[in-house]
Structure formats: C-alpha cells, structure tokens
Amino acid sequence: MAFYDVCNGDADGLFALRQLRLASPVESILVTGIKRDIGLLERVRAGDGDHVTVLDIAVGPNRLALERLLDAGASVTWYDHHAPGPLPSHERLRAHIDTSAQTCTSVLVDEKLKGRFRAWAVAAAYGDNLPRVAERLAAMLGLTKEQRAQLQMFGEAVNYNAYGDSEADVRIHPAALYRWLARYTSPFDVLAQSPIVQELDELRRSDLARARTATARLQDDQCSVVMLPDAPWSRRVLGTFANELATSDPRRAHAVLRELADGSYTVSLRAPITSPHGADAIARQFGGGGRASAAGIDRLDMLDVPRLIATLTAAEWQR
C-alpha cells in the first residue's frame, strides 16, 4: 500500500497537509507545485489498495485523473473549498468540500481534527486573505496580538511563495518548503528556528513595494482595475497584491492584470470583502475559475479587457 499526498503549494494547501500528517503520520509521496499547477492529480499513479489525499485543489481540472484512480482501485480523500462541479459517486471517494466564502481547506481540516493543530489553520486563513476567520480561530486559542501578527506574516509569506508562471519564479519550490515545514510541530517553531520564512517575507515586501507604484486603469464605486507589466516580481506578487488591495479597500472588487509576453493578460480577481461572492462566476465567463471570493483567469485576450472591466463595473457586488 502506498500513500500519496497531493496539495496546492500555497499556505492553505501546505498547512492543511501539515495538520493531517501531524494527526496521522505516514510515509507518503508528496505531489505539489506552484498555484498554476492545478492538474496535480494527473501526476499520481496510484493503484489497487493505495490511498490518495487531495488538499486545496479543484475537482474540475482533475476529474478525469480522479476517475482513473478510482477505477484503478485507489481510495481518495478530498478536502477543498473550490466549486467542484459534479462529483463522481464512488464508495472509495470521501469528499469534504465546502465552498463557503468564509472557509478554506486548512479550516476544514482543523474542524475535522477538532482544533488539535489550530495554529496552522490560523496562519492559512491569514494567507488566504480570510482575516475574520483567522481572528476567530486565534481568539479560540487565546493568541496574543504579537502571536497573531507572527502567524499572519507566516501565512502571507508562504502563500506568496506559490505564485509565478514557472518554478523559476518562486524562491523555493513548495515541495522543498513543505519538507522544511515538516520538521516542526508548530508554526511558532518554524518562525523561531527557520530563516526561510523571513527571507520570503522580505522578498514579498520588496515586490509589493513595486506593485504599489502601478496606476489604476479604473477605479469607481464598484471596483478597481490595476495593470502590471510582465516581470519576475509581478509574476510572484500578483495574487498577494490583489489580496492587499482587497484588504485595504474592502468595499470594492479588485482585478489585477499582468501582461504576458504575447500581449494577453493573466488576472487575479477579488470580490469585495464586505460582499465576498461572485468572483468565480465572473472568472468562468472568461475561461477562468476559482472560488466565490477570489478567482483568476490564466489568459485574457487584450481585446477582452474592456469586456472584463464592463462586467466588473456592472456586477451586483453588494447585496
């Protein structure tokens, strides 16, 4: 019997896995990658009697691989908060999926484990731009203001590290980062003993400073649209910058567009924090996807930029 752990390479995916493996240690084969690597399940070659745990990746892009694994005799446990679409009905599939705007995969795992390793879920919620959720969980732990700030920095730094067009863009591959995290039981131990988080945070702050110099293409009562050039720093900071804009201006929707080499754009989209719904529906209109509060479009033709802006300004965000 072999065990496979398949997870998103951002804070939510890695911290959800850390919680599960602290609760149930096994020797497993890790499959992860940067956030653009959404078809991770295709890399798994599990068979009869093997078990696959999937965390924080959408079922949709992985449905064919999921069906293949189930047909081969593998058992699959799936934790996620993205819209899954139709799920296969199978006795060896256990799906824990909640698409609520106020949850993330690490929080789902935290609930399953009854808070045994909750500090990881707090950091993940901060990293996934769910500050209210993070504060609620932090209060349950009785964390001080300083401890909350530490976990916020930790979650945001690890989340930032997952962004890029290729592995060359990130500071450390998520698989290597997880192997580092797996040495520790608590996020506070990581912060006290490992310099990698501080390095990630320093790079994140530097990239954000560059992004803040960009001029908004549009800003009205409904939304803001910012366009970034194509550069290694913008490839890394795209999602982090979108989260910052959403947090600093919670009543507006936000779209951050980064130019690609062929003149098209990749888009990071955030619904207003005060009304966190609809981002995924808009992204799907342009071939993208995601969740209700945060979504993305891998490639938006330059001719579709005006249509996207018109869609954002016409959306009924507040309700």
Q: Give the side-chain half-sphere CA count within 13 A for 307.
A: 9
The answer, yes or no, to whether residue 317 has pLDDT greater than 80, is no
Q: For tokens 């996807």, what's the residue?
A: 289
For the chain, what is the mean pLDDT? 94
- φ/ψ (deg, to 5) at 214: -70, 140
Tens digit of each residue's pLDDT (9 = 90 or more) over 212-271:
999 889 999 889 999 999 999 999 999 999 999 999 999 999 999 999 989 999 999 999
The pLDDT value recorded for residue 318 is 59
Q: How far is CA 235 from CA 32, 206, 212, 226, 243, in A?
A: 19, 13, 14, 14, 14
The pLDDT value recorded for residue 4 is 98
Structural domains present in the chain = 3-202 (3.90.1640), 212-314 (3.10.310.30)
Residues in CB range of 84: below 8 A, 6 or more apart = 58, 59, 60, 95, 97, 99
Instruction: Identify the DSSP state of 41.
Output: G
The pLDDT value recorded for residue 284 is 94
Tens digit of each residue's pLDDT (9 = 90 or more) over 89-146:
999 999 999 999 899 999 999 999 999 999 999 999 999 999 999 999 999 999 999 9
Prediction pTM value: 0.90
Nearest-angstrom CA–CA distance, 32 and 38: 9
- Helix, strand, coil % over all residues of the chain, rounded to 5: 45, 20, 35
Nearest-angstrom CA–CA distance, 275 and 283: 17
Please report, as a single letter, which amino acid is at residue 248: S
Q: Which of 254, 285, 262, 288 is nearest to 36 (CA)?
A: 288
Nearest-angstrom CA–CA distance, 44 and 67: 12
Tens digit of each residue's pLDDT (9 = 90 or more) over 171-226:
999 999 999 999 999 999 999 998 999 999 999 999 999 999 998 899 998 899 99
